[in-house]
Structure formats: C-alpha cells, structure tokens
Amino acid sequence: MKEVIGIIGAGTMGAGIAQVAAQAGHQVILVDQNQAQLDLAKANLEIILNKLLSKEKITSDQKSSISSAIQYEINNTSLASCSLVIEAIVENLTIKHSVFSALQEIVSDTCILATNTSSLSIASIGSVLKNPSRIIGIHFFNPAPLMPLVEIIPAVQTSQKVIDNVMTLIGAWGKTAVLCKDTPGFIVNRVARPFYGEALRIFEEGIADFATIDWAMTTLGGFKMGPFTLMDYIGNDINYTVTESVFEAFYYDPRFKPSLTQMRYKEAGYLGRKSGKGFYDYSENAAPTKAKEDIDLGQEILDRILALLINEAVDAVFMQVSSVEGVDLAMTKGVNYPKGLLKWADEIGLNEILLRLEDLQLTYGEDRYRPNPLLRKMVKENLNFYPK
C-alpha cells in the first residue's frame, strides 16, 4: 500500500497537487479551514476528471479511483497518518510558522514536512520544528497536473535521507525533479527575472512597444508567450511582488530591480487578464495591438533579453544553485523555454554573449549588466557548458 499524502490548502495549487498524488495511486487527505474552498476543489476535480474521461485520457474506473482517493477535511488533525505533508497556503512566513509548529505535534516523527513556497526560505520555514531535518521545499508549477517540473529544495537542516526519499517519490509521480539550493527564487523565478525586467526596461527607454517586444520574443525567439502577454496572464500584482521579493532577498542587487512601469500598472489595477486590462486590453471589443515587425529591431530586442537570461542561468551554476543540466531542465520544463539557456549560450557562442553584456554595461554603466565571472572564465579558457 502506498503512503498517505497530506496537502494543506485547497486552492488551485493544493488541489492540483492532490490530483497528482491521487493519480499516482496514493490516498490523499486535502485540508482547508474553509469548507467552501474544499467544496470548490472537489467540484473542480470532478470537472477536470470528466474532461479527461471524455478525451479518453482516463477510464471510468480510473476516474472513480482518483475521486475516491481524495478525502476532504477541515482540520489538520486528520493528517496524523500521513508520511508526507505538503503545505500549499498563502506566502506568509508567520502563518507558515504557525502551521508547521502545530503540524509537528500531529504527525509521526518520520513524516516528511514539505512546503510548496515559491519565494520564502525553506530554512526559515523549518526553523520552528523540533526536528528541522525533515523540512524540504517541493515547488510545483501551475497547473500542477500538467507542468512536468518540480523544484526540490533542501534547507541547510534537511537530512540526505529526506532528500533521497522526496526525489524518488516525485520521480515516481511522473514529474521531472530538479534539485536546487535554498536561495531566493530557487531556479526558475530567479533565472526568469530578466525575461520580464529587461522587456520592461526596453519599453521604458522607448525602443519598442509591448506588442513589438512580444513579437520579437515569440516569432524570432521561439518563446511560447511574450513577456507582456505572460505578465498579463500571471497577473501584474503577482509578477511584480515576486520580482520585489527576489530584489529584496538579494540585498537590492540591481540585476533584479523592479520596474516602475509595472508598479504603476499594478497600482492602477491593470493586473492583466483577470482584471480585463493589463499591458493589453482584454475587453470584448478591444482592437488587437499590432507589432512593428522589423527584423533588425526584433533581433536587437531578442539578443538583449537573451543575454541577460543566459547571464542569470550562468550565475545559478556559478553559485551552485543547481547543475548545468538542472538549470536547463528547470527552464524548459518549468516555464516552457524553447531551449535550455546554457545550451542556447553554447550555440550562440559564449564569447558573443560576453560581448553583448560588456557592450550593455559600457553603454549604461550599470551593475545590472555585469557579466558573470564564470562566463568570463569559460570564454578565457575556450570552454562550453556541454561537450561539442
């Protein structure tokens, strides 16, 4: 019999993780203090499973099995039998501390305690535990049943046994598990910052409008969504807050400096799709914004944003956040980048990336564009990230 998995928080993410665990054959206990939220999660799962059934992705027996595998509870005391509990609640350290402090008294001493946080320190979350060696970050991406990547983040306190068990378990769930260091933004939310930040900077300088920047990144770069379309999809309030938290956590490093433009859009309530207006107008009769399809301009935009993205990917390796393969897997599986950034860097040529960054740093005189020391070293030694 497979282990019982507990999930705290029946929002979109928590309910999604519950579905993943149930589809992998586990009994799942989904807890939320809000009965209406539990009812909504149960109703939404029924809709999702009916869609999968109609598309013949699952059988009626599998549908029944998944539905009956999830138990909906309002009290954390129901988690006593779990071997793993994943918390997926609001990104508030004080609330998480309160939850984990109480949870350790309910579950067994061998139960692994995990958090799905995307921005908070795992070490800090685990600091309230009597045995902090059992804390770990298990960061799914939304929607959890569809997105293949899961970032596994041990705290400095986490035992090797817990790391090994979680890596094996998440792999058995059919996910791509990537190990990364407990640093702000982990891999994806750290490395992806320039995709948004540099696009906003290019707009602020008057080089191109939103639609043209998006066109350059999708048509020329092969990205699934342009930065402004993606920010509108995520929500400007959420995207700005993540950037702000990463900026603060890195002691105000200019590489992660938030944009005044995005802050103003957030303040105005232009949050994107969910508010009907963001960088684009989503009202019923709104005319689509046309891009200026200038190949030279588009290539300049792509080259600049890509150089900054690659520089962040290099920094993640330099600071041992993850391996070369781990960083590339995270960006292709977690945010659907067309290529791993480090593989892309090899294709373009590390010397070319270094020249672009040096030119930007010379032009602007800002540390935002400083080339990573590892990039300089590899160019000097004529090395690549992958064997030629």
Strand partners, 277: 272, 281
Q: Angle CA(99)–CA(66)–CA(28) in degrees, nearest 5?
A: 20
Euclidean distance between CA atoms 41 and 38, whole angstroms = 5
312 is catalytic: no
Euclidean distance between CA atoms 278 and 272, whole angstroms = 4
Give SS3 for 71: strand
Euclidean distance between CA atoms 314 and 298, whole angstroms = 24
Select which of 76, 116, 121, 189 is catalytic. 189
139 is catalytic: yes
Joined together, the tokens standing for residue 222 give: 């092969």
Euclidean distance between CA atoms 80 and 74, whole angstroms = 14
**DSSP assigned state of 310:** H
Of 35, 24, 27, 20, nearest in space to 6 by CA: 27
Select which of 87, 121, 139, 312 is catalytic. 139
Select which of 151, 198, 236, 322 is catalytic. 151
Select which of 76, 87, 116, 118 is catalytic. 118
Instruction: Output the DSSP codes for 47-61.
Output: HHHHHHHHTTSS-HH
118 is catalytic: yes
Strand partners, 28: 5, 70
Euclidean distance between CA atoms 373 and 364, whole angstroms = 19
Catalytic residues: 118, 139, 151, 189
